[in-house]
Amino acid sequence: MPSAARKLFLKGGENAISMRTLAKAARTNTPAVYRRFKNRKDILGALMRRIQQDLSQVVEPCGSLQEICQRYFEFLLAHPHEYQLVNSGLFTAVDAGRPNLELLKKRSAQWLGRSEEDCTGLVLAGWALSHGTATLLISKAVPPAYEAKLRTTLAETMDLLVRNAMRGS
């Protein structure tokens, strides 16, 4: 059923998902959907957890915060609908947590020899830069002539931030 929910979301966004439409898409009946999910919020929560797992597979093998930000950014561009769901207000409403953010804090602390608390600002900056850059490109707000420069600027800025963090700035 999660793959059917994902297909519905990709076609019509969160409003395309209901217990009845999921049952039809999964080729089952509505009572079967209710046995698996309490309500629509549970379906959206399962969908978000699936997307988080997909993203986790992308960032797990990375060897630096810069690489994680770059891979995260590429994932967002390749999956704009999933990105919309994961970064929507629904995320908080279904209380999905942010395991990938916690992973980034932990890995950054290891790489930089600092505490997770010390790395929180750096990780949030990387997340914000990746998110903002992806949003600008997905929304086509950036003139095509500047797209490559924007991508390069993301990478250069993350390098600068990490270098500063390594120096203790």
Q: What percent of the chain has pLDDT over 90?
A: 60
pLDDT at 122 over 80: yes
**73, two tokens:** 């950014």
| Total number of domains constituting the chain | 1
pLDDT in tens, 124-150: 999 999 999 999 999 999 999 999 999
pTM of the model: 0.81
Question: Does residue 122 lie within any of the structural domains?
Answer: yes
Is residue 27 one of the residues assigned to a domain?
no
pLDDT above 90 (res 15): no
Residue-range definition of the domain harbouring residue 149: 61-167
C-alpha–C-alpha distance, residues 74 and 69, integer Å: 9
Q: For helices 65-78 and 116-138, what crossing angle results, to 10°?
A: 30
68-118 pLDDT per residue, tens: 999 999 999 998 887 777 776 665 665 666 788 899 999 999 999 999 999
pLDDT value for 25: 92
The pLDDT, as a whole number, for residue 99 is: 83
- Here the contacts of 36-44 (C-beta below 8 Å, separation 24 or greater) are 36/1, 37/1, 41/93, 41/94, 42/94, 43/1, 43/5, 43/17, 43/19, 44/5, 44/14, 44/17, 44/85, 44/90, 44/94
Domain-embedded: residue 7: no
**Residue 152 covered by a domain:** yes
